[in-house]
């Protein structure tokens, strides 16, 4: 399921979605925190990205594992395999930061929605959650870069 679509590796296709949606989630979550008067305009986008970004990161990890298994079965070894494994470790960490970022962003949207069914929390809850969301956003951005760079290095190396 996660190996090919229309003859192309799923991983190669889905990583472009990760590179788009994870930074968008991090940046819009930061804007949601920093610009409270625009929250009513950003809430739908943050909510949608909080679901889409971790989902694309998960599909990238799953398809990357399938692609790695396929390449090992084809006889890949040595330095290229080391680069692939480094890329895989970064991808796993990216997912591990993106998932809680998505959950935190959804919680932040819910807690600041003003909906009557949302319980009243202590005054420090929203600022504390905001700090966590910003920190997870920064970590996600760092790992998008590290994962993408290590993947490009594994594929392209010093060809340019």
Residue that the structure tokens 């890949």 belong to: 76
Alpha helices in 35-158 (DSSP H): 39-73, 79-111, 125-156
| pLDDT in the model for residue 78 | 87
Question: How does DSSP classify residue 36?
Answer: G
Residue that the structure tokens 């788009």 belong to: 20
Q: What is the pTM of this model?
A: 0.92
Element (H, E) at 158: none
Which mean pLDDT values do the consecutive 10-residue runs of the chain (160 residues) have?
81 94 98 96 97 97 92 87 94 98 97 86 93 98 97 80
Strand bridging mode 8-9 / 4-5 = antiparallel
How many CB atoms sit inside 10 A of residue 129's CB?
Answer: 18
| pLDDT in the model for residue 160 | 56
């Amino acid at each position: 399921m996660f190996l090919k679509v229309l003859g192309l590796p799923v991983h190669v296709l889905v990583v472009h979605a990760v590179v788009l949606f994870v930074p968008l989630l991090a940046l819009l979550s930061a804007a949601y925190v920093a610009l409270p008067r625009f929250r009513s305009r950003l809430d739908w986008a943050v909510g949608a990205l909080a679901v889409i970004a971790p989902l694309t990161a998960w599909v990238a990890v799953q398809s990357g594992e399938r692609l790695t298994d396929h390449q090992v079965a084809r006889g890949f070894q040595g330095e290229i395999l080391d680069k692939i494994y480094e890329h895989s470790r970064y991808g796993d960490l990216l997912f591990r930061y993106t998932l809680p970022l998505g959950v935190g962003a959804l919680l932040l949207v819910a807690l600041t929605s003003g909906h009557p069914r949302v319980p009243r929390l202590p005054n420090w809850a929203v600022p504390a959650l905001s700090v966590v969301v910003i920190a997870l956003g920064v970590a996600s951005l760092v790992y998008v870069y590290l994962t993408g760079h290590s993947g490009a290095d594994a594929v392209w190396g010093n060809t340019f």
